[in-house]
Chain A
Amino acid sequence: MPAWFWLVPVASIAALGAAYGFFRAMMKESEGTETMARIAAHVRAGAIAYLKQQYKVVGTVLVSLTLVFCVLAYVLHMQNPWVPFAFLTGGLFSGLAGFIGMRTATYASARTANAARDSLNHGLRVAFRSGAVMGLTVVGLGLLDIAIWFLVLTRFYGTDDAHQVVVITTTMLTFGMGAAVQSLFARVGGGIFTKAADVGADLVGKIEAGIPEDDPRNPATIADNVGDNVGDVAGMGADLYESYVGVILASAALGAAAYASHGADVQLKAVIAPMVIGALGTILSVVGVFFVRTGEKATQKQLLGSLARGVNGAALLIGVLSIFVMWAMGLDNMWGLWLALLVGLLTGITIGQAAEYFTSQGYAPTKRIADASKTGPATVIIGGVGEGMMSVAIPVLAVVTGTGLAYFFGSHFEFSVGTMSMGLYGIGMAAVGMLSTLGITLATDAYGPIADNAGGNAEMSGLPPEVRERTDALDSLGNTTAATGKGFAIGSAALTGIALLASYLEEVKIGISHVLERGDAYTFPDGFSIASNAMDQLEGLNLMDMMTHYEVVLINPKVIIGMFLGAMLAFVFSGITMKAVGRAAGQMVDEVRRQFREMPGIMSGTEDPDYARCVSISTRAAQREMMVPSILAIAAPVLVGLIFGVPGVLGLLAGAAVAGFSLSMFMANAGGAWDNAKKYIEEGHHGGKGSESHKAAVIGDTVGDPFKDTSGPGLNILVKLMSMEAIVVAGVTVAVHLV
């Protein structure tokens, strides 16, 4: 094993150790007044209750799928025997990352509010380092999972045979599916929970009862705060865990395929290069967290500068230090691969900045939506949909440019069949570059909901205006920095989607090898046949050969059908999740109305609302409503594979990736723009709070809520889960298909 590999477990332990240290330091902070502690305890109890319920459902699904994979692996011999265990650990680690992040966030909100009573800088330090707990836990657990499995599988299979290294890397990809299942449930369930509570709290509390947001008299307000934690923290943690390991493993698999003919030593180095870069980025993230500090009287601009120093400093350092990693790996074309990595970083930054431009109230698109509010809610909706659609252009152009350049740099600056796998490895490296410093970029993401909850806690506890101004400043800062983090996550999902297509074909080859091992010949759709004893012939097929033999061309109806189905799934998935939010919010509205009706003491403050019941309604609704979209995502690649075989599945994945990425950007940006258009008006524009324009913008924001927090983020996972699952069940698709 190359010595550089050991950086992976070292970085994992460093990240987990730093996360534990930050957690302990946060816990030593005071929760403030009795009211602050009581509110935080309500939110914490609700969040834990939700997660327990969610983990029961996801646990059942994970165990059921593990049993199915056991049958496929041990009874039908269609799958690698390690798949069931890899799948299960991916799911467990992903859930654990989300759980730790959420638990930290629920402890941190009151402490952040209390620290903000002292100074802005103190508030920032508590919130950001609490966010860093999740960021570092995600990457720490991800690297740990990767390191353990890589060591186990290399010990079992050995690394002398190039084909075995390919088997190892593609087997490891399957724990990405476990993580993807977990993250789909976490994102979709959390998204439905949070938006049901949010919309329910707003519709009855704010509109009907006239009570302000975050008012303790609103029965749904605790559920709303719980939702911020389970959706934005636990959901995001599980989601990015899956993205992180998915990116590294997909790149490792591409490296194994690209360098299969360069000798075992070089091939192994190509496999561990993405892991080492991830490890290096993790160590730099830990260092970057300590850069985030300001003077006691820092302005908002200085705070932003401080956060940017941490995030950009880590990105800059990884850009420089990765040269040494490439050099140490001794890969040929090291400069091309390094440039590909830089392209990934720049693509992520471009997507993040584009999202910031289209959703921040400081820029024209959001101001135009706010301006449209003067003519009512209809024009707000039209404006938001229009701006959201326009916002897709830059990220898509960034991804296609990034993909093209990364391929170009990775493939020795030429587009040819011979260098295709090298080019794809370049794309993988670009995706790794984007997520290499996830530890700190995710800290800025997780910090947002913590600051948001701290603001809610400060409001509900009636803290003095200067404290609320500080928590507002922290919240606003979180919104700005989170845009870059989201850009990296979305961009990496798009690049990983492309990389996973290549990994799928590698897994298909392994599936064919299982057929050959059983003593059968295998015949491709174009009539090309491989005899049972011609394993070398199979291993000699490159990606383009596979595409040719499977007739993956646009005029093949199986491919076109698959593409249509993939695009359709993206829309149907969004529709189901949007409607789920509507139904769940309806139940919440009924419950909040009931409580106001039957408990008149709530409004006079003589009676506490039944917060737990609202949490329970959101929990039950989320569990019930997330089943259909999740089953859809899990079943689609299997069914399409069983009917149309490999070409159909490739079409499905391509269609879902293209439509899903665009739709996800549209929904996330439109929702963000509506939200900030409302905030822009509340800042005192177009009549300010309470005006007709404000009413129109509130409607836009309510429509945008499930866009940006449920369907949009869910789509990314849908695309990745389908790719991962296609890889896991590739053996079945190869062995059994109708046409």
Chain B
Amino acid sequence: MATYVYLSLIPEALVASMLAPDDFGLYYAIGSAKRSRGQALFFSVDRDKLDPKEFPLEKIDAECVPHPDGSPKLSVYLSIYRVLERVPRDALVALHLATDDGRVLTLKPEAFEPDGEKRAHLYQEFCPVTPRVVSRLHPGEFAEFITDTAKSVHIPRLVYAELTLGNLKNNADHPDIDNLPYPNIGHLRDCLRELAFGPEKATKTVLRQMTQEVLYRTIRNGFFVADADGITSFPLPSRDALEREHLAWWRSAQSTFGH
């Protein structure tokens, strides 16, 4: 049986498992029996690129072995604290998005290319911190801004996604915000206004932390992993591709209640 190493973002942990990504997503989302459920985001990690001094990699071969009855070992936790910053960006070979009933969509890394559209951005950070912020910076600039070691406030490495702002992206007062499922839209508008009328401000926090699951339908473009050396993009397939090629995941993603 093959052994896999995953970097989970909710909660942050490095885990070895004998389950392939789809099965691991299912297990992580709903448990080994149907008693719990919850969204899961995790990366497949190339173990050869991990630093053995940072993680007890020997535990993988020693402990991640089949049970006496032949069933696969579900999980062996290798680390649970400040994990992301110790996993090299190029070791993250795929991002897996598990819905709360365990359907898994796998995203492959690509080089980031800004789309060139001038607009306000809404970012949801997933790891290691989880605020939601609005910003005038595009994902690449935001990555530089947040990982700039010259600043007193910075993060060594960050996983985040851009969320759709709909009609608010260019007009904080636009009346048509029908399909935006965010709580307290009034506060979001205030934050966007502050950004628009205060050119000195690059970002503004909307929510201090993520309290509920993110609706995948609100993800715009995809996910990003950024550090001081650059940014890797994990783009979400187009709506048509999701409907056509990943229907089971997409239907499940839409049935989630979130924020």
| In the assembled complex, B179 has its CB within 8 A of some CB on chain A | yes
Q: Which of B100, B178, B183 contacts A684 (CB 8 A)?
A: B178
Residues of B near A215 (CB, < 8 A) are 251-252
CB of A462 within 8 A of CB of B255, answer no
Those of A690-722 within 8 Å (CB) of chain B: 690-692, 694-695
| In the assembled complex, A603 has its CB within 8 A of some CB on chain B | yes
The count of A-to-B residue pairs whose CB atoms sit within 8 angstroms is 84
CB of B257 within 8 A of CB of A209, answer no
Those of A410-465 within 8 Å (CB) of chain B: 459, 462, 464-465
A692 to B258, CA, bound (A): 8
Known: A212-B255, A462-B248. 11 other contacts (CB 8 A): A209-B30, A215-B251, A459-B251, A464-B244, A465-B240, A596-B34, A603-B30, A604-B26, A686-B178, A687-B178, A689-B215
| In the assembled complex, B173 has its CB within 8 A of some CB on chain A | no
CB of B257 within 8 A of CB of A695, answer yes
Please name the residue on chain A nearest to B213 by beta carbon: A690
Please name the residue on chain A nearest to B102 by beta carbon: A603
CB of A689 within 8 A of CB of B254, answer yes
Q: How far is the CB of A656 from chain B (nearest CB, A)?
A: 42
For A208, A210, A217, A604, the residue with the greatest tally of chain B CB atoms inside 10 Å of its CB is A210
Please name the residue on chain B nearest to A692 by beta carbon: B183
CB of A604 within 8 A of CB of B102, answer yes
Residues of A near B100 (CB, < 8 A) are 210
| In the assembled complex, B101 has its CB within 8 A of some CB on chain A | yes
CB of B34 within 8 A of CB of A687, answer no
CB of B178 within 8 A of CB of A210, answer no
CB of B181 within 8 A of CB of A690, answer yes
Residues of B near A691 (CB, < 8 A) are 181
Residues of A near B23 (CB, < 8 A) are 604
| In the assembled complex, A600 has its CB within 8 A of some CB on chain B | yes
Q: How far is the CB of B172 from chain A (nearest CB, A)?
A: 17
| In the assembled complex, A213 has its CB within 8 A of some CB on chain B | yes
| In the assembled complex, A206 has its CB within 8 A of some CB on chain B | yes
CB of B99 within 8 A of CB of A685, answer no
| In the assembled complex, B129 has its CB within 8 A of some CB on chain A | no
Residues of B near A465 (CB, < 8 A) are 240, 243-244, 247
Residues of B near A208 (CB, < 8 A) are 37
CB of A603 within 8 A of CB of B181, answer no
| In the assembled complex, A597 has its CB within 8 A of some CB on chain B | yes
| In the assembled complex, B217 has its CB within 8 A of some CB on chain A | yes
CB of B181 within 8 A of CB of A689, answer yes
6 sample A-B contacts, Cβ–Cβ < 8 Å, listed by A number: A459-B251, A464-B244, A597-B33, A689-B254, A690-B258, A694-B257
> Which 8 pairs, one residue from A and one from B, show the smallest C-beta to C-beta distance?
A691-B181, A684-B179, A465-B243, A596-B34, A210-B100, A212-B255, A687-B181, A688-B179
Residues of B near A209 (CB, < 8 A) are 30, 34, 37, 101
A695 to B183, CA, bound (A): 13
Interface size on B, residues (CB 8 A): 33
CB of A603 within 8 A of CB of B240, answer no
Q: A689-B217, A690-B258 are in contact. Are A597 and B252 (CB under 8 A)?
A: no
Those of A591-634 within 8 Å (CB) of chain B: 596-597, 600, 602-604
Q: Which of A206, A603, A686, A688 contacts B34 (CB 8 A)?
A: A603
Residues of B near A684 (CB, < 8 A) are 178-179
CB of B183 within 8 A of CB of A211, answer no
| In the assembled complex, B32 has its CB within 8 A of some CB on chain A | yes
Residues of B near A695 (CB, < 8 A) are 257
Residues of B near A211 (CB, < 8 A) are 101, 252, 255
**B residues engaging A (CB < 8 A)?**
23, 26, 30, 32-35, 37, 99-102, 178-183, 215, 217, 240, 243-244, 247-248, 251-252, 254-259
Q: Is the interface of A mostly helix, strand, loop or mixed?
A: loop
Q: How far is the CB of A210 from chain B (nearest CB, A)?
A: 4
CB of A210 within 8 A of CB of B256, answer yes
CB of B255 within 8 A of CB of A206, answer yes
Residues of B near A602 (CB, < 8 A) are 34
Q: How far is the CB of A16 from chain B (nearest CB, A)?
A: 41
Those of A195-211 within 8 Å (CB) of chain B: 206, 208-211
CB of A212 within 8 A of CB of B183, answer no
Residues of A near B243 (CB, < 8 A) are 464-465
Please name the residue on chain A nearest to B240 by beta carbon: A465
Residues of B near A459 (CB, < 8 A) are 251
Q: How far is the CB of B161 from chain A (nearest CB, A)?
A: 16
CB of B258 within 8 A of CB of A462, answer no
Residues of A near B257 (CB, < 8 A) are 690, 694-695
Those of A107-153 within 8 Å (CB) of chain B: none
A688 to B176, CA, bound (A): 12
Q: Which of B101, B244, B259 contacts A210 (CB 8 A)?
A: B101
Residues of A near B37 (CB, < 8 A) are 208-210
CB of A687 within 8 A of CB of B99, answer no
A686 to B182, CA, bound (A): 10
A688 to B99, CA, bound (A): 18
Q: How far is the CB of B215 from chain A (nearest CB, A)?
A: 5
CB of A688 within 8 A of CB of B255, answer no
Q: A215-B251, A690-B257 are in contact. Are A210 and B99 (CB under 8 A)?
A: yes
A217 to B255, CA, bound (A): 14
CB of A212 within 8 A of CB of B252, answer yes
A210 to B29, CA, bound (A): 11
Q: How far is the CB of A26 from chain B (nearest CB, A)?
A: 27
Q: How far is the CB of A603 from chain B (nearest CB, A)?
A: 6
For A215, A597, A691, A692, the residue with the greatest tally of chain B CB atoms inside 10 Å of its CB is A691
Q: Which of B102, B180, B247, B252 contacts A687 (CB 8 A)?
A: B180
A56 to B99, CA, bound (A): 45
Please name the residue on chain A nearest to B239 by beta carbon: A465
Q: How far is the CB of B81 from chain A (nearest CB, A)?
A: 29
Please name the residue on chain A nearest to B103 by beta carbon: A211
CB of A210 within 8 A of CB of B252, answer yes
Residues of A near B256 (CB, < 8 A) are 210, 690
CB of A685 within 8 A of CB of B255, answer no
A209 to B247, CA, bound (A): 18
A692 to B212, CA, bound (A): 12
CB of B255 within 8 A of CB of A213, answer yes
A57 to B33, CA, bound (A): 40
A235 to B33, CA, bound (A): 39
Q: A209-B34, A465-B240, A695-B257 are in contact. Are A688 and B181 (CB under 8 A)?
A: yes
Please name the residue on chain B nearest to A691 by beta carbon: B181
Q: How far is the CB of B142 from chain A (nearest CB, A)?
A: 25
Q: A604-B26, A685-B179 are in contact. Are A597 and B34 (CB under 8 A)?
A: yes
CB of B32 within 8 A of CB of A210, answer no
Residues of B near A600 (CB, < 8 A) are 32-34
CB of B248 within 8 A of CB of A694, answer no
A371 to B125, CA, bound (A): 31
Q: A462-B248, A604-B23 are in contact. Are A212 and B254 (CB under 8 A)?
A: yes
Residues of B near A686 (CB, < 8 A) are 178
CB of A603 within 8 A of CB of B101, answer yes
Residues of A near B240 (CB, < 8 A) are 465
Residues of B near A685 (CB, < 8 A) are 178-179
A212 to B100, CA, bound (A): 11
Residues of A near B34 (CB, < 8 A) are 209, 596-597, 600, 602-603
Please name the residue on chain B nearest to A687 by beta carbon: B181
Please name the residue on chain B nearest to A461 by beta carbon: B247
Residues of B near A604 (CB, < 8 A) are 23, 26, 102
Residues of A near B244 (CB, < 8 A) are 464-465
CB of B217 within 8 A of CB of A687, answer no
Q: How far is the CB of B254 from chain A (nearest CB, A)?
A: 5
Residues of B near A687 (CB, < 8 A) are 178-182
Q: How far is the CB of A255 from chain B (nearest CB, A)?
A: 56
Residues of B near A464 (CB, < 8 A) are 243-244
A602 to B244, CA, bound (A): 24
Q: How far is the CB of A463 from chain B (nearest CB, A)?
A: 9
A450 to B221, CA, bound (A): 38
Residues of A near B248 (CB, < 8 A) are 462
Residues of A near B26 (CB, < 8 A) are 603-604
A695 to B33, CA, bound (A): 26
